[in-house]
């Protein structure tokens, strides 16, 4: 028996295709979008035409017939150039469309997935709330079923929701308390809310430190009514469903973080070869060489971690711990690599015209979004049998 970590021909072709797209299409344009806080509709449309939003979904729903590993490969290559574009794809697929694919009825899948897979429409994932943060089980948004109209009536607020307010956003799947267990704990369900539904208000974009070319907003629901048929999955199982979605999403975020970390290496190698100080390239200095060597070591190790977690997912093996390990490690080394890349670039690293400045600003959120580093450590400890 042999163990081969190399990509097969199909995966490698995808990786190369996305790599070329990132360098030829994303890199020349994204800086302007980023500095103007504009959503890159043109780039997203091209990603849709390439089939990136449909990578892990079956062809019967308009997908590419690929898998989650293929999605993560694409995310890593995009994030080597820009994280705003990568997070738009990640959230649109793993958080927007995947819950419908995993838990939706046949009718829900036929209704929503074709447009989500084509990139014609974006979906969003409404979980986080202003007063709950990492405590997703503390959901305060409520939904009651009106028996006279057979509609869910939703009230509450969600925050930090990616892809929720673009011109092509078509739906947000929200978690809401729909009842109580005998011991008083909430029953949380998931409900699909189409964009433009009366009572559903999307706030203006946040002013963010990073990810400036992605869409992030607060959402509010004031007696927002949707049909009872918009329930996603089993009633009272919304929390469990989204925990599964978050486990998968952490692999995707790990791939994205790995891409950012590798992008820092790419930019630092190029700069070290061309930037001269005291009559020679700074890359001739051992101090710079060691910094970049350590950066490459971190990115390589992070790649092994997310690929291991993704492999376990594809083989239907337990992957919760491995996903948490990958997300924790890759997000923290992305921050480290971004800091070191900025240091290598010196004053130029503080200038927004250089990609490493954008990477530095984008990296920190990776230790927070889709489960903070502290939450990942809790999950790992629990999987090791440590409770309390």
Domain boundaries, the chain: 9-122, 124-236, 240-383
HSE of 241, CA atoms in CB hemisphere, 13 A: 29
Label residue 95 exposed, middle or buried (CB < 10 Å: 0-12, 13-18, 19+).
Answer: buried
Measured CA distances, 344 to 273, 333, 366 (Å) = 11, 16, 22
HSE of 133, CA atoms in CB hemisphere, 13 A: 6
> Taking CA 201 as the corner, what is the angle to CA 164 and CA 198, rounded to the nearest 5 degrees?
115
> What's the CATH number of domain 240-383, 3.30.930.10, 1.10.274.50, 2.40.160.40, 1.20.140.10?
1.20.140.10
Same fold, 9-122 and 240-383: no
Label residue 98 exposed, middle or buried (CB < 10 Å: 0-12, 13-18, 19+).
Answer: buried
Q: CA 208 to CA 292: how far, in whole Å?
A: 29
Dihedral (C-alpha) 138, 142, 145, 148: value to the nearest 10 degrees?
A: 160
| pLDDT tens readout for residues 267-324 | 999 999 999 999 999 999 999 999 999 999 999 999 999 999 999 999 999 999 999 9
Task: Tell me the catalytic residues.
Answer: 370
Does the pLDDT value for residue 185 go beyond 80?
yes
State the residue for tokens 């240091």: 343
| pLDDT tens readout for residues 78-105 | 999 999 999 999 999 999 999 999 999 9
Q: How confident is the model at residue 219 (pLDDT cuts 50, 70, 90)?
A: very high
| pLDDT tens readout for residues 39-80 | 999 999 999 999 999 999 999 999 999 999 999 999 999 999
The CATH homologous superfamily for domain 124-236 is Butyryl-CoA Dehydrogenase, subunit A, domain 2 (2.40.110.10)
| pLDDT tens readout for residues 226-267 | 999 999 999 999 988 988 999 999 999 999 999 999 999 999
CATH class of 9-122: mainly alpha
Quick one: tokens of 262? 């590798």
Three-state SS for 133? Answer: coil
Q: At how many degrees (to 10) do helices 238-274 and 355-363 cross?
A: 150
| H or E stretch at 275 | none
Q: CA 138 to CA 132: how far, in whole Å?
A: 6
Alpha-helical (H) ranges within the chain are 9-21, 27-35, 41-50, 68-79, 83-90, 98-103, 106-118, 238-274, 286-314, 320-345, 355-363, 373-383
Label residue 204 exposed, middle or buried (CB < 10 Å: 0-12, 13-18, 19+).
Answer: exposed
Q: CA 345 to CA 103: how far, in whole Å?
A: 47
The model's pTM: 0.95
In this structure, what are the phi and psi dihedrals at residue 275, rounded to the nearest 5 degrees?
-80, 125
Q: CA 384 to CA 367: how far, in whole Å?
A: 22
Number of DSSP helices (H) and strands (E) in the chain, helices first: 12, 10
């Amino acid at each position: 028996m042999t163990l081969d970590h190399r990509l097969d021909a199909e995966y490698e072709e995808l990786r190369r295709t996305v790599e070329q797209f990132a360098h030829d299409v994303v890199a020349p344009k994204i800086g302007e979008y980023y500095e103007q806080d504009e959503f890159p509709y043109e780039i997203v449309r091209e990603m849709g035409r390439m089939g990136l939003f449909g990578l892990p979904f079956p062809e019967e729903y308009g997908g590419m017939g690929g898998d989650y590993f293929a999605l993560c490969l694409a995310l890593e290559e995009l994030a080597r150039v820009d994280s705003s574009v990568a997070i738009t794809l990640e959230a649109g697929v793993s958080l927007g469309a995947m819950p419908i694919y995993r838990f939706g009825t046949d009718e829900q899948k036929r209704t929503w997935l074709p447009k989500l897979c084509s990139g014609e429409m974006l979906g969003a994932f409404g979980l986080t709330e202003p007063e709950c943060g990492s405590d997703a089980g503390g959901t305060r948004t409520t939904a009651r079923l009106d028996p006279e109209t057979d509609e869910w009536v939703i009230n509450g607020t969600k925050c930090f929701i990616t892809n929720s307010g673009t011109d092509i956003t078509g739906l947000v799947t929200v978690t809401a308390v729909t009842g109580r267990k005998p011991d008083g704990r909430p029953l949380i369900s998931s409900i699909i809310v189409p964009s433009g539904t009366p009572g559903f208000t999307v706030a203006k974009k946040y002013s963010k430190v990073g990810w400036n070319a992605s869409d992030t907003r607060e959402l509010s629901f004031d007696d927002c009514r949707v049909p009872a048929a918009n329930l996603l999955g089993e009633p009272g199982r919304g929390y469990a469903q989204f925990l599964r979605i978050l486990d998968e999403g952490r692999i995707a975020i790990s791939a994205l973080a790995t891409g950012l970390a590798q992008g820092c290496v790419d930019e630092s190698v190029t700069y070290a070869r061309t930037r001269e100080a005291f009559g020679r390239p700074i890359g001739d200095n051992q101090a710079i060489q060691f910094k970049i060597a350590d950066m490459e070591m971190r990115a390589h190790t992070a790649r092994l971690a997310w690929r291991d977690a993704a492999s376990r997912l594809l083989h239907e093996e337990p992957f919760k711990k491995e996903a948490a390990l990958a997300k924790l490690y890759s997000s923290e080394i992305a921050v480290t690599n971004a800091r070191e890349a900025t240091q290598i670039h010196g004053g130029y690293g503080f200038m927004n015209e250089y990609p490493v400045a954008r990477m530095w600003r984008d990296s920190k959120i990776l230790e927070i979004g889709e489960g903070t580093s502290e939450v990942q450590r809790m999950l790992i400890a629990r999987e090791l049998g440590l409770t309390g």
